[in-house]
C-alpha cells in the first residue's frame, strides 16, 4: 500500500471519528462526559487539519480555484433554478 492510500484512509478514519464525537457531545446529558467528548473532538479536528496539511505538502490533495460563474451555476442547479 502506498503513502497516499494510507493517509487518505487515515483522513477517512478521522472524519468518521469526528462524527462520533459530535453526536456524542450533542447527546450527552452529563457535563463531565460532554466536556471530555468536546476535548476529543478538538484533538481529532487538529489531527485532521495536520493530516490535510501533509496531504497538500506531498501533492495528495490538490486545491483548484473555482470560477465564480461555476459556483453560481452549481448553486442554481442545487436550488432547482436550472
- Give how far Cα 5 sits from Cα of 13, 15, 35, 72, 73, Å: 12, 15, 33, 33, 33
Residue 81 is predicted with a pLDDT of: 66
pTM for the full predicted model: 0.72
pLDDT one digit per residue (tens) for the chain, 82 residues:
799 999 999 999 999 999 999 999 999 999 999 999 999 999 999 999 999 999 999 999 888 888 899 889 999 999 986 5
Nearest to 8 by CA among 50, 44, 55: 55
Amino acid at each position: 500500500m502506498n503513502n497516499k492510500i494510507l493517509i487518505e484512509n487515515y483522513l477517512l478514519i478521522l472524519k468518521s471519528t469526528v462524527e462520533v464525537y459530535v453526536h456524542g457531545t450533542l447527546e450527552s446529558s452529563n457535563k463531565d462526559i460532554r466536556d471530555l467528548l468536546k476535548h476529543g473532538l478538538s484533538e481529532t479536528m487538529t489531527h485532521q487539519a495536520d493530516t490535510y496539511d501533509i496531504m497538500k505538502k506531498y501533492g495528495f490533495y490538490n486545491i483548484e480555484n473555482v470560477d465564480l460563474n461555476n459556483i453560481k451555476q452549481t448553486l442554481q442547479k442545487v436550488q432547482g433554478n436550472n
